[in-house]
Amino acid sequence: MGGQVLRVSLSPTVTSLTESALADEILLLASISRLQALAGQHAIIAALMGRLGRDPAATLSFLERDLGLPSPQSVTEVRAEVFANRYYSDSA
């Protein structure tokens, strides 16, 4: 539940990367994976709080500001931006 990364799968194309570039790639993807795990916690807690009748706006604020859990939507936006800037711009 802490958002720890347990495993990273690598593509065969990593052999074309330098060690430094590979390290940067792994760190970036691990960071995004961590955010996705935290967003999963956010979604579960928000659903439970909703079942308890809590105000959705107050719950969202509490989860993001006080607990530091990003919303699933914000992580999806970050992931899309990173992938668009990093991968799609490289192939263009």
Task: Determine the pLDDT at residue 40.
Answer: 95
Task: Determine the pLDDT at residue 28.
Answer: 92
Tokens of 66: 């006080």
The answer to whether 43 and 72 have CB atoms below 8 angstroms apart is yes
The answer to whether 46 and 69 have CB atoms below 8 angstroms apart is no
Task: Determine the pLDDT at residue 2.
Answer: 62
The answer to whether 47 and 75 have CB atoms below 8 angstroms apart is no
The DSSP call for residue 9 is -
Task: Determine the pLDDT at residue 11.
Answer: 83
Task: Determine the pLDDT at residue 46.
Answer: 97
For residues 72, 68, 83, 77, the Cα torsion angle rounded to the nearest 10 degrees is 40
**Separation of alpha carbons 47 and 41, rounded Å:** 10
Task: Determine the pLDDT at residue 75.
Answer: 97
Task: Determine the pLDDT at residue 92.
Answer: 54
Per-residue pLDDT of the chain (92 residues; tens, 9 = 90+): 566 767 777 788 888 999 999 999 889 988 998 999 999 999 999 999 999 999 999 999 999 999 999 999 999 999 999 999 988 865 55
